């Protein structure tokens, strides 16, 4: 079996983490590096990560996260927030993201135009914009979880939280929204059998 498929088999949504085990700093930084190098639509990298290490802050967050034990027990807790103001069309941030590709100025303008055409119907609605930036976070998170599994590090993606409450506890500015939470650490219990639909039910060839 390929190393990648082995990691896919090892990864499960870990519910109880061993509170006595800490992810070595260098390995955790490499998990963050996987986020940094993940793909994003138009290369806009809308993710802004908050690593919550303060135990009191973890405790404060737990009730707003369906009281899930992973919030306080995991070695590392990563909150994916989105920077929704920067990615709006016509911002200096977006221009810089295109300029860094080393394009001629006219090409940058062309890209800005294509981007604007694409984003205008999305950015006109806060919720659509949040959906779009959050999607990028989910891709990065998936990469991080699978990569972590190659290091025998467990994880749990967490969507079970009250977004507005979590944003208030983190005291986020208006344009920063929480997309997803992911816990990383080491399992206490053996993982249960992976339950998945058969290939025939999810794939059709045409």
DSSP element (H, E) containing 47: strand 47-52
Residue nearer to ligand FMN on the CB measure, 93 or 138: 138
Residue 138 C-beta: closest distance to ligand FMN, Å:
6
Q: Using CB atoms, what's the residue nearest to ligand FMN?
A: 160
Q: Are strands 154-158 and 47-52 parallel, antiparallel or unpaired?
A: unpaired
Residue nearer to ligand FMN on the CB measure, 65 or 119: 65
Residues 2-61 contacting ligand FMN, CB under 6 A: 12-13, 15
Binding of ligand FMN by 63 (CB under 6 A) = no
With both helix axes pointing from N to C terminus, report the angle between 3-10 and 126-150 in degrees, rounded to the nearest 10: 110
Cα separations in angstroms, 37 against 31, 77, 152:
10, 19, 21
Residue 8 C-beta: closest distance to ligand FMN, Å:
9
- Quote the distance between the C-alpha of residue 77 and its chain's center: 11
Supply 85's token pair. 């103001």
Residue 88 C-beta: closest distance to ligand FMN, Å:
25
Residue nearer to ligand FMN on the CB measure, 113 or 160: 160
Binding of ligand FMN by 68 (CB under 6 A) = yes
Check: CB of residue 29 under 8 Å from CB of residue 37: no
Supply 7's token pair. 């990691």
Residues 131-160 contacting ligand FMN, CB under 6 A: 156-160
Interface with ligand FMN (CB under 6 A): 12-13, 15, 68, 156-160, 194
């Amino acid at each position: 079996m390929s190393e990648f498929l082995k990691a896919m088999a090892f990864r499960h949504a870990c519910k109880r983490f061993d509170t006595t085990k800490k992810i070595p700093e260098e390995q955790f930084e490499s998990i963050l590096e996987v986020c940094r190098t993940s793909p994003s639509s138009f290369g806009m990298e809308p993710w802004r990560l908050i690593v919550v290490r303060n135990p009191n802050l973890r405790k404060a967050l737990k009730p707003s996260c369906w009281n899930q034990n992973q919030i306080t027990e995991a070695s590392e807790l990563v909150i994916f927030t989105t920077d929704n103001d920067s990615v709006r069309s016509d911002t200096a941030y977006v221009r810089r993201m295109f300029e860094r590709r080393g394009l001629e100025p006219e090409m940058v303008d062309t890209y800005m135009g294509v981007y604007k055409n694409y984003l205008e119907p999305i950015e006109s609605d806060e919720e659509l914009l949040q959906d779009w930036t959050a999607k990028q976070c989910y891709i990065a998170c998936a990469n991080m979880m699978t990569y972590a599994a190659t290091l025998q590090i467990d994880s749990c993606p967490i969507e079970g939280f009250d977004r507005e409450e979590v944003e208030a506890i983190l005291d986020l500015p208006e344009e920063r929204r929480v997309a997803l939470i992911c816990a990383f650490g080491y399992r206490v219990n053996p993982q249960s059998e992976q339950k998945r639909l058969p290939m025939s039910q999810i794939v059709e060839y045409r």
